Amino acid sequence: MNPVVSTAIPKPAAFRNHTIDVFRFVAALCVVALHSPLDTLPNSIVLAIRLGSRWAVPYFFLISGYFIAQSIKIGQPINFSKSINNLVAVFIAANLFYCLFYVIDGDANTAIKLTLIGLLVGQSDHLWYIGSTIFGLIVLQYLAARYTDRVLLVISICVLLVILSESSYSDISKIKAQLYMMRYVTSIPFLFTGFLLARHQNALNFLSVKVSLFLIIVGFSIEIGEALLLYKIAGTSPHNQEMLFGVVIAALGFFGLSLNYTIRINNFFSGVGKKYSLLIYLYHPIIISVLFSIIKIGHYNKGFYWFSPLLTFLITLFILKTIEKVFPIGFKVISGQ
C-alpha cells in the first residue's frame, strides 16, 4: 500500500498554550507521589493519592501522540525517526546512570538486569515508560503509513481491552499476561488516541472544558469503584492497580482540559513542566532512594513521609537545574538534545 500522508493536521497556533505544560508539571508530581514512601500515612490518604495519580502516565502518552501528529508536515510521509532517536538516547543515558548507581549502592534488589526484559524495559522499573513510548512510536509509524485512521482506532481499543482484561482484571478474567508485556504495549492505545485526535479536530473539540471536567470527575469515581470492587470480589490490592477503565476516562478528561482551557502567559509551573517533567520522571527514584533508604530521613522525623512527594520533586528539580547550569553538556545528554 502507498504511505498515508497526513492532510488533517491543524496549523500551528500563533501562541503556545501553556496549560499543557502546567499539566505536565502536575503529572510529573503525581508520578513522584506514586513512587514516594507513603506507608506511614493513613491508608485512606495513601489510597486517595495513588488512585488520584494514575492518570499521569496515560496523559503523557496522549500528549506525545498529539504532538507527534502535529510534527508531520503536510505532503510528507509519516516518519517519527527523530523523536524515536531522541528517546533512544534518553533511554540509554538513563539506563547507564541507573546501572552505575546500582553498582555503587550494592543492594541485591537493584542488581543490573542483563536480560532481554531488562534491556527492553530498563534497569529501573519506571523506565518502562520510555521503552514503551519507543515501541509505540515504531508501531504507530508502521501502521499509520499503511492503514486508515479507523483501523488505528480499532487497534487502540483492542489493545486497551487486552490490557484491562489480562492485567487489571486478571483476577476475574483468570487470564494473566506478563506484567512487563502489558506495560510495554500500554503506550499504543494512548499514543494512537492522541495522534488520532490531533488529526480529527472535530472529535477533539468535543472535549470542551465542561466535558473534560465531567470526564475527570466520572473517571475518578469509576476508578475508585473499580478498585474497591476488585478488592471485594478478588482481593486485589487497590494500591497496586496501574490501569483501570476509570483511569482512561480521567486521563482523557485531563487531556481535553489541557488543550481547551488556555493559559497564554508562561509561568513557573509551565516552565518546569515543559523543560523538566520528563527528566523529573526519569531521575526522581534516585532521590527517593538516597533520602529514604540511604540517609533514612524518615527515621529522624516521620513528618518527612507526609511531604515526601513534594520534597523529592523539588530536590530533583534543583539538581537538574544545577546540572543544566554547571554541566550543560551533561544536561543535553540526559535530556536527549
In this predicted structure, what is the pLDDT of residue 173? 78
Cell digits for 199? 488529526
pLDDT for res 168: 81
Report the C-alpha gap between 251 and 268 in whole angstroms. 23
Give pLDDT, residue 37: 92
Highest mean pLDDT of the ranges 106-115, 167-176, 253-262: 253-262
Distance CA 179, CA 208 (A): 35
Does the pLDDT at position 203 exceed 60?
A: yes
Quote the pLDDT of residue 111: 63
Cell representation of residue 155: 487497534
Lowest mean pLDDT among 47-56, 112-121, 206-215, 220-229: 112-121
Per-residue pLDDT at 236: 85
Asked whether the CA dihedral 76, 77, 81, 83 is positive or negative, the reply is: positive
Helix (H) or strand (E) holding 79: none
Element (H, E) at 314: helix 308-326
* Banded pLDDT at 104 (limits 50, 70, 90): confident
Q: What pLDDT, on a 0 to 100 scale, did the predictor assign at position 110?
A: 61
Q: How confident is the model at residue 13 (pLDDT cuts 50, 70, 90)?
A: very low
Closest listed residue to residue 24, CA positions, set 63, 51, 50: 63
- Average pLDDT score, the chain: 88
Amino acid at site 289: S
* Closest CA relative to residue 62, chosen from 250, 203, 211, 192: 192
What pLDDT is recorded for position 169?
A: 87
Distance CA 227, CA 120 (A): 30
DSSP 295: S
pLDDT tens by residue, 144-157:
999 999 999 999 99
Mean pLDDT of 27-45: 93
The residue ranking higher by pLDDT, 302 or 219, is 219
Q: What percent of the chain has pLDDT over 90?
A: 63
pLDDT digits (tens, 9 = 90+) for 283-329: 999 999 999 988 999 888 888 999 999 999 999 999 999 999 999 99
Q: Check residue 337 and give its pLDDT.
A: 73
Percent of the chain with pLDDT over 70: 92
Please say if the pLDDT value at position 108 is more than 60. no
Instruction: Report, as an integer, the average pLDDT of 233-257.
Output: 91
How many helices (H) and strands (E) would you count in the chain? 17, 0
Q: 64 versus 13: which is more confidently predicted?
A: 64
